[in-house]
Amino acid sequence: MLSMAASVLAGLLLLRYFVFATPPSAFEPNALPENTLTSETGHSQNVSTCPGYTLTGLKETSSGITAHLNLAGNACDAFGSDIANLTLEVTHDTKTRLHVNIFDTAQNQFTIPSSVIELAGPDDDVHKETSDLVFNYEPSPFAFWITRRSEPDGAPLFDTRTSSLPPTPIPPIVSNDSSTAFDGFPLVFEDQYLQLTSALPFDANVYGLGEAVASAGFRRDVGANGGTGTIQTLWARDAADPIDGNMYGSHPFYLEHRYNSTTHRSQSHGVFHFSSAGSDIFLMTPPSSPVSLIQYRLIGGTLDFYFFSGPSSQEVVEQYGALIGLPTWQPAWGFGFHLCRWGYHDINVTREQVENMRAAEIPLEVQWNDIDLYHAVRDFTTDPVTFPGEEMRAFIQNLTANHQHYIPIVDAAIAKQVNDTDVYDPYTRGVELDTWIKNPDGSEYVGQVWPGYTVFPDWFAPNTLELWTEALQNWSAAGVEFSGLWLDMNEISSFCNGSCGTTANISNTTQPSILPGDPGNLVTEYPEGYNATISGPSGNITVNGTLTFDAGEVTTTSVLTRRGLGEAVEKGVNLNDPPYALHNGNGPLWVSTLATNATHAGGFVELDVHNMWGMMEEKTTHLALQALYPTKRPFIIARSTFPSSGKWTGHWLGDNFSKWQYIRFNIQGVLQFQLFQIPFVGADTCGFNDNTDEELCNRWMQLSAFMPFYRNHNEREALSQEPYRWDSVANASRTAISIRYSLLPYWYTLFANASMRGTPPVRALFFEFPDEPELFAVDTQYLVGSDILVTPVLTPNVSTVDGIFPGQGRVIWRDWYTHEVVNATPSTPATLSAPLGHINVHIRDGSALLLHAQPAYTINETRSGPYSLLVSQAADGYAFGTAYIDDGETIPPTPNRTVMIHSQRGEIRLQSWGDYDITQKLTTVTVLGAAQTTPERVLIQGNTARSWEFDERIQRLVISDLVIDLNEPVQVSWA
């Protein structure tokens, strides 16, 4: 990102020209309404003379302190007007959470209303003297640092003292971008610019701060040891998965993992800045500096920080979830395989996909439709010719009869009614209920999206939930009997700048952009590494079983195709072009989105609330679905997210590309969102933009089978990529989905733990093995829960893959398919066989997994079948596991049962508790590492087992033909 900083705006101008057929002049300020404020030039844009603040009036409270912070000298007005009087509040919320809030005493700056996000408050106990986090401070100039009570002499976890930071001035990190210089590190609190800097350990292990497709990987680049550093801009943007640029979501939360080379032990902690303000977050290590640093630069809001003590990475994530809210409960069917395409242009083509998937015997749980579904590309409609309402009803009801499901898209923008004869109830009803975002003069704000001129729901307006619920109810009644919803374009995206339709000819409904596949925007680029002279136009990348990536001369056709109160009441602020320019990939903040002076109910302006728009839509949609279907868990997948989004929705990783580097980005994206408490996440399998090929799709269908959200989706008129298109992909998909469905009790339990405790279901290796530095940067492998290690192939034209086996030789890993023990050198990557169609999966010792014994075509059929038990014993015979079981559909509290599995040498015991009756029986028990010699007897509930076999070579005991009631205690023994 840093090397691209100088060219990003010019590149965007060119991209804009091709994507939206909009000339570069659209970037000029006159594209905005006349009431746009122009840039001010009365600011130094240099913080070196900023005086900082002096602490006075300190008061002790039962849970912390309060104090005044007064400007310590003459105002510097670097990027705004310095605020002279601040308030400091420090609260020990819990034993593991510390709240440090610095805000303007007059409380004019924007803060997020509790009606939008309700954070957890302090618990009932007093923790000032018992908390593991200690707040330390210097009064003048004011600075603070956070330490652990358990390590009083340890390095601070967060440290804003100038003496702890590198000397300044520091020249620009990017030579042609003066804004990447560091003039000084004072606390700056202005109406349009806030700055806070903390020292980090040199080359710190930092994770989070997103949403990001980071070239450096899951571990963020802090600019040490040859790194260039990171500028993470938080400004929600509709951009097709840009590398190192701001994109759909905004998450100012990070986890830091510290390894003590003396004790060889690690601890983690977390830092969360609770703000919706647009911001740049710098991770840098200045030349010759012994420390790295993190710097927050905000264009509004306050400095409202929460610190989490961990000390494990898992506990940090759980503590963050306890503050912002835990993830929504997912219905069991959501874990099935989903199929979508922008380009299923009528109901017959859509129905054909369902039929073809069944004919190919590839399980399909959910069929989706993109905007092809709509009439005139309008939300809550179906095209009367291509998707007639009654045919849609019959199609969806047939899916339902087969225990399958249907999900349509809901775009963020609502079409504006063209004329008096035009009938479009969602718009006119919204006018009646006064639910649309407005211009500063009170008129409707009118942007431009797929249907032409559009308006945008104002989630702050009191009647918007009513509008949304009514629209969804009417849509379902008209035939679209959806099981869940897909929320797209909610950054929010607009194809013009400013309220371009306010005075325009509304009857002009010409498409504002050229769609992929239309003349002038053909998807003609061959798949990556593809040789058309060998494979023709099919997308096949194997010939007689031989991979052909980069074989001979690669043919490509170049084509640009991409899918494409606070400030409101303060005087003298610049709403549209704040003096500090964020490193927004679109340049000005108002490009390709709403103008930042657009107004919301309650007097809020878009500049302050922009990053929350998507989350507020997700919350409203979730509440609407609950109102319509009071007992059923809402299923939502959305694009733009913000802290607390996980309470309402899942997420897909946006409009990615059919490139090998993006299959790797898939892993870091999913790991990011585990931190953000949005665990139900996945990528567009096989890639969305461009053309995929057989090999890439083969590997990706396998990878995604071990991700939470599993959907194949691609763009209009690109090469078809349904998994039945290639025999090798079909075979790989059937195998991977069969494993996924057998593991559903495990996945379901992981997500129950996420919803009840915030425990991340998918984990980076160091989460489970925190004291192994060789794992800290690994993001080509990952763990599902604590027990399943996934090592996917992420490069083309290979038949092996390298993977490390955590545990430094102290853990026994067994192959999922053969159950053989892995013989690998500790702490060193091993080369594993990985022919096309095979993904390496390994089981950790000490695990006990309740599985579905007979994976079937749908989740309902699979859940209706019997259970099996797989126990992988450690060397001492120990293994442990749990399984949470309920009806998979109703909103908790609902009847449920937890099965606990405990193993020791020669014995397994199962116990359960709860009020849910498990009707399916346990029919098979497999024990790995059971014994070195064949047992003489095997007992079930004290009685001799009827059918069992033992493989001495791999120490595997298999007991079959069982009929065990999981509602009762169970004992299995052998000797």
CATH number at residue 866: 2.60.40.1180
pLDDT at 2 over 60: no
Three-state SS sequence of 368-398: EECHHHCCCCCCCCCCCCCCCHHHHHHHHHH
Mean pLDDT of 724-747: 98
**pLDDT band at 527, cuts 50/70/90?**
confident
- What local confidence, expressed as pLDDT, does residue 536 receive? 63
Residue keyed to tokens 């398919």: 817
Mean pLDDT of 38-48: 74
pLDDT at 445 over 60: yes
Which value, in Å, is the radius of gyration of the alpha carbons in the chain?
Answer: 28
Residues 6 or more apart in contact with residue 304 via CB below 8 angstroms: 101, 102, 103, 111, 273, 274, 275
- What local confidence, expressed as pLDDT, does residue 525 receive? 78
pLDDT at 553 over 50: no
- Does 352 lie in the same domain as 258? no
Answer yes or no: is 415 within a domain: yes
Q: Dig out the tokens for 673 from the structure.
A: 């969102």
- Does 436 lie in the same domain as 511? yes
- Does 362 lie in the same domain as 290? no
**pLDDT band at 547, cuts 50/70/90?**
confident
**CA–CA separation, 617 and 641 (whole Å):** 10
- What local confidence, expressed as pLDDT, does residue 24 receive? 29
- What local confidence, expressed as pLDDT, does residue 521 receive? 80
Residues 6 or more apart in contact with residue 773 via CB below 8 angstroms: 259
655 is catalytic: yes
Say which of 93, 221, 491, 787 is annotated catalytic: 491
Q: Are 105 and 85 in contact (CB under 8 A)?
A: yes
pLDDT at 36 over 50: no
**CB neighbour burial string for 878-906, b if at least 16 within 10 angstroms, e if fewer:** ebebbbbbbebebeeeeebbbbebbbeee
- Does 403 lie in the same domain as 265? no
| pLDDT tens digits along 933-945 | 999 999 999 999 9
Answer yes or no: is 211 within a domain: yes
- Does 766 lie in the same domain as 658? no
| pLDDT tens digits along 112-166 | 999 999 999 999 888 889 999 999 999 999 999 999 999 988 999 999 999 999 9
**pLDDT band at 584, cuts 50/70/90?**
very high
Count of domains observed in the chain: 3
pLDDT at 39 over 50: no
pLDDT at 8 over 60: no
pLDDT at 519 over 80: no
Say which of 82, 304, 372, 488 is annotated catalytic: 488
| pLDDT tens digits along 200-240 | 999 999 999 999 999 999 999 999 999 999 999 999 999 99
Answer yes or no: is 577 within a domain: no
pLDDT at 473 over 70: yes
Say which of 211, 365, 608, 655 is annotated catalytic: 655
| pLDDT tens digits along 798-807 | 999 999 999 9
Instruction: Report in angstroms the alpha-carbon separations of 163 from 138, 168, 429.
Output: 11, 11, 60
- 888: containing domain: 762-974
Of 108-112, 476-480, 493-497, 546-550, the poorest mean pLDDT is in: 546-550
Answer yes or no: is 42 within a domain: no
**pLDDT band at 42, cuts 50/70/90?**
confident
**pLDDT band at 528, cuts 50/70/90?**
confident
pLDDT at 480 over 60: yes
User: Of 780, 843, 831, 770, whose CA–CA distance to 802 is shortest?
Assistant: 831
Answer yes or no: is 41 within a domain: no
**CA–CA separation, 35 and 892 (whole Å):** 49
- Does 895 lie in the same domain as 792? yes
CATH number at residue 419: 3.20.20.80
- What local confidence, expressed as pLDDT, does residue 522 receive? 77
**CA–CA separation, 419 and 114 (whole Å):** 40
User: Of 655, 756, 750, whose CA–CA distance to 707 is shortest?
Assistant: 750
- Does 716 lie in the same domain as 782? no
CATH number at residue 72: 2.60.40.1760
pLDDT at 631 over 60: yes
- What local confidence, expressed as pLDDT, does residue 569 receive? 82
From 292, 324, 356, the end of a domain falls on 324
488 is catalytic: yes
From 747, 775, 806, the end of a domain falls on 747
- Does 340 lie in the same domain as 446? yes
- Does 381 lie in the same domain as 305? no
715 is catalytic: no
- What local confidence, expressed as pLDDT, does residue 30 receive? 29
825 burial type by CB count under 10 A (0-12 exposed, 13-18 middle, 19+ buried) = exposed
From 700, 724, 747, the end of a domain falls on 747
Answer yes or no: is 201 within a domain: yes
Mean pLDDT of 760-768: 98
- Does 209 lie in the same domain as 351? no
Answer yes or no: is 665 within a domain: yes
Answer yes or no: is 664 within a domain: yes
**pLDDT band at 826, cuts 50/70/90?**
very high
| pLDDT tens digits along 341-352 | 999 999 999 999
- What local confidence, expressed as pLDDT, does residue 46 receive? 94
- Does 483 lie in the same domain as 504? yes
pLDDT at 258 over 60: yes
Beta bridge partners of 198: 294
The rounded mean pLDDT for the chain is 92
Q: Are 563 and 655 in contact (CB under 8 A)?
A: yes
**pLDDT band at 545, cuts 50/70/90?**
low
269 burial type by CB count under 10 A (0-12 exposed, 13-18 middle, 19+ buried) = buried
- Per DSSP, helices labelled H in 821-923 are 859-864
| pLDDT tens digits along 858-887 | 999 999 999 999 999 999 999 999 999 999
Mean pLDDT of 832-846: 98
Q: Fill in the amino acid letter for 795.
A: T
- What local confidence, expressed as pLDDT, does residue 568 receive? 82
- Does 348 lie in the same domain as 435? yes
Kindly report the number of other CB atoms within 10 A of residue 442's CB atom: 7
